[in-house]
Amino acid sequence: MTLSPTDAAKRNAALRALEFVRPGMTIGLGTGSTAAHFVVALGVEVQAGLAVRAVATSIATYNQAASLGIPLLDPNDIDTLDLAVDGADEVDRQHHLIKGGGGALLREKIIAAAAHEFVVIVDAAKMKPQLGSFPLPVEVTPFGAALTTKAVQAVLRGQNLKADTVRMRLAPDGAPFISDGGNYILDCACGLIAAPDAVAGALSAVPGVVEHGLFIAMADIVIVGDETGAAVARVD
Ligand code: A5P
């Protein structure tokens, strides 16, 4: 099968992430099209005899990994996580991330934070001088979502960001998109984010915000793929 240039870049990044996998590891599996390439590659290794176990950050990833024979654990049954491998929507020069385009940001952040090493795999187009071209996903509880939306908008205004472009994410049938955790997602096209750590802190303080897609200083390794290969950078 011929891959598009973007898909080839995602696959090249995913394949390099295998370098960080060791026998006996428990591995967090991310969500999205780039993470799916990693799951396929890991599945090939498992079928060839590699002994690893995994936890999934979404129902979609769980189903994909299970279909490939990757042994899966309930996150509540593990004490430690050696590695997490996941994609991202944007990566800035400080290696802060925007994630959540696929709506799995809550589980992704729990798993990335728990992992001893968090490996981010992206195609080169995801690398940005500043975060914010991609609308920032914010996961909110359905209860009081309209009030929480107003509070999120106030936070954005307070950070000199655009607030009138905050939109509830919708499913194809026009109803609110529901995350695996049963929550809504606000997509905040707030413009370029000059101070992502300040925005992250302010959003986390809003009652009703379950999680947001700013992953600040979480990446340990960033692998950037292109059509011909991938480059690995360790984050200091
Ligand atoms: C899922 O919720 C996201 O965080 C994804 O990791 C992110 O959207 C990247 O997805 P792709 O690899 O499909 O671009």
| Per-residue pLDDT tens digits for 146-176 | 999 999 999 999 999 999 999 999 999 999 9
Dihedral pair phi/psi, residue 85, rounded to 5°: -130, 125
Residue 226: CB atoms within 10 A of its CB come to 16
Q: Residue with structure tokens 């606000």?
A: 186
Q: How far is the CA of 199 from the centre of ligand 1 (A)?
A: 21
85, two tokens: 């491998």
8 A C-beta contact, residue 72 and residue 54:
yes
- Residues with Cβ within 8 Å of 229's Cβ and at least 6 positions away in sequence, in order, are 12, 16
Q: How far is the CA of 163 from the centre of ligand 1 (A)?
A: 23
Q: What does the pLDDT read at residue 236?
A: 80
- Catalytic amino acids? 108
Give the ligand 1 atom nearest the CA of 35.
12
Residue 67 banded pLDDT, cuts 50, 70, 90: very high
Q: How far is the CA of 55 from the centre of ligand 1 (A)?
A: 17
Give the predicted TM-score (pTM) of the model: 0.97
Residue 124 banded pLDDT, cuts 50, 70, 90: very high
Number of H helices, E strands in the chain: 6, 13
Q: Is 99 in the pocket of ligand 1 (CB under 6 A)?
A: yes
Mean pLDDT computed over every residue of the chain: 97
Give the ligand 1 atom nearest the CA of 30.
6
Q: What does the pLDDT read at residue 198?
A: 98
Give the ligand 1 atom nearest the CA of 105.
2
> What mean pLDDT is predicted for residues 69-77?
97
The closest residue, in CA terms, to atom 10 on ligand 1 is 32
Q: Rounded CA gap, 232 and 190, in Å? A: 30
Of 11, 31, 107, the one to substitute when testing ligand 1's pocket (max ligand atoms within 8 A of C-beta) is: 31
The closest residue, in CA terms, to atom 3 on ligand 1 is 100
Q: Is 58 in the pocket of ligand 1 (CB under 6 A)?
A: no
Residue type, 200: A
Q: Rounded CA gap, 92 and 98, in Å? A: 9
8 A C-beta contact, residue 123 and residue 226:
yes
8 A C-beta contact, residue 196 and residue 96:
yes
Percent of the chain predicted with pLDDT > 90:
99
> What mean pLDDT is predicted for residues 94-105?
97
Dihedral pair phi/psi, residue 199, rounded to 5°: -65, -40
Residue 47 has pLDDT above 80, yes or no: yes
Burial code of 39-73, b = ≥16 C-beta within 10 A, e = fewer?
bebbbeebeeebebbbbbbbebbbebbeeeebeee
Residue 1 has pLDDT above 80, yes or no: no
Higher pLDDT, 1 or 45: 45
Q: What does the pLDDT read at residue 151?
A: 98
Q: Rounded CA gap, 54 and 43, in Å? A: 11
The closest residue, in CA terms, to atom 8 on ligand 1 is 101
Q: What does the pLDDT read at residue 17?
A: 98
Q: How far is the CA of 103 from the centre of ligand 1 (A)?
A: 8
Q: Is 102 in the pocket of ligand 1 (CB under 6 A)?
A: yes
Q: How far is the CA of 30 from the centre of ligand 1 (A)?
A: 8
Q: Is 122 in the pocket of ligand 1 (CB under 6 A)?
A: no
